[in-house]
Amino acid sequence: MKKVLVTGGCGYIGSHTIIDLLNNGFEVISVDNNSNSDLRALNGIHEITGHRVKNYTVDLCDFEKTAKIFRNESFDGVIHFAALKSVGESVGEPLRYFNNNITSLLNVLQCCKDYEVKNFIFSSSCSVYGNAVDLPVTEDTAFEAAECPYARTKQMGEHIIQDFSFANKNINSINLRYFNPAGAHPSAKIGEASLNPPTNLVPVITETAIGKRESLTVFGNDYNTRDGSCIRDYIHVMDVANAHTKAVQYLMDGKNESNCEVFNLGIGEGVTVLEAIHAFEKVSGKDLNYILGDRRPGDVVSIYASMDKAKSKLNWETQYNIEDIMRSAWEWEMKRTETVLQN
């Protein structure tokens, strides 16, 4: 059984990916300092899969503590999610984002080299493309200027991995650039549950619908799009999770053509913010209280993916659409709110 380290394993995408890895026969170890995640995600993983995943509560910016994990375990691969991820927060706290996201990446890469871990998957983002002119974006689309410090850390991270790969031919890496992960596990036992107030659209929608927020603000209605709101490519979190499993298998099976490759993960369609809101209203039967506001610093106008490369090389297909995303997110929101009220 191959053993994979998932950094940020208690987080949103990390916890869903652990489930997919376990369901595909991998042994998984998690590391998460729980600065914006909850250990209870591991309980949900156990309920769904029957596996109790070990978690190291370690800040990956601490090199000695990070190295100790690699000394204690023997990994066949690493999937690196752990990072700060709020666009708006990064604009106000750029140094915090650079320090955390870059230092943790450097430490994990150094440990991969020191302890001979041959396979590395990096959680990148569509934000690396900036305000892309030609859509859909492909893996060959050039980076535009980063629209926020968070996006810049992802651009820098990819450049670091490319240079690292050039110098370390025996380590294989993949940068997975995903677009807007959303939704929850179909069981509603885990979902998006950051400790800090969410800023991503879908959890803001569900929190508004259930009454945790008075209203939802649509940031900008004067963009050059179908209805004036930003266009994004929303992809179900379990589709994203499965792509990480497929990427690990791809490297372990020796199918990679180089030791540093890149794949987009999206559903290949642009959905406006207002269209996403209407999809939620359709599947939930609830009218959402939203207001039209000013543009938000750091937001790109429109971006969506071509996922042809991931389909052909990783043998990966999406299974969920925007309505599935909204339905699963709403079921998760209702269940976790009911649990809080019962306690």
Active site residues: 150
Query: What span, in angstroms and rounded, lies between the C-alpha atoms of 32 and 47?
Result: 20
Query: What span, in angstroms and rounded, lies between the C-alpha atoms of 290 and 296?
Result: 16
Q: How is 139-197 classified by DSSP, letter by letter?
A: TTSPP---SSHHHHHHHHHHHHHHHHHHH-TT-EEEEEEE-EEE---TTSSS----SSP
Which residues, including other chains, have CB under 8 Å from residue 75's CB and lie 6 or more apart?
Answer: 3, 4, 5, 29, 115, 117
State the amino acid at position 249 in one-letter form: Q
By C-alpha distance, which of 123, 174, 189 is closest to 310? 174
CA distances from 312 to 174, 207, 246, 315 (A): 15, 37, 12, 6
Q: In which residue are the tokens 């499993």 written?
A: 245
CA distances from 35 to 24, 51, 87, 338 (A): 29, 24, 17, 24
SS3 category, 124? strand
> Where is 31: in which H helix or E strand?
strand 27-31
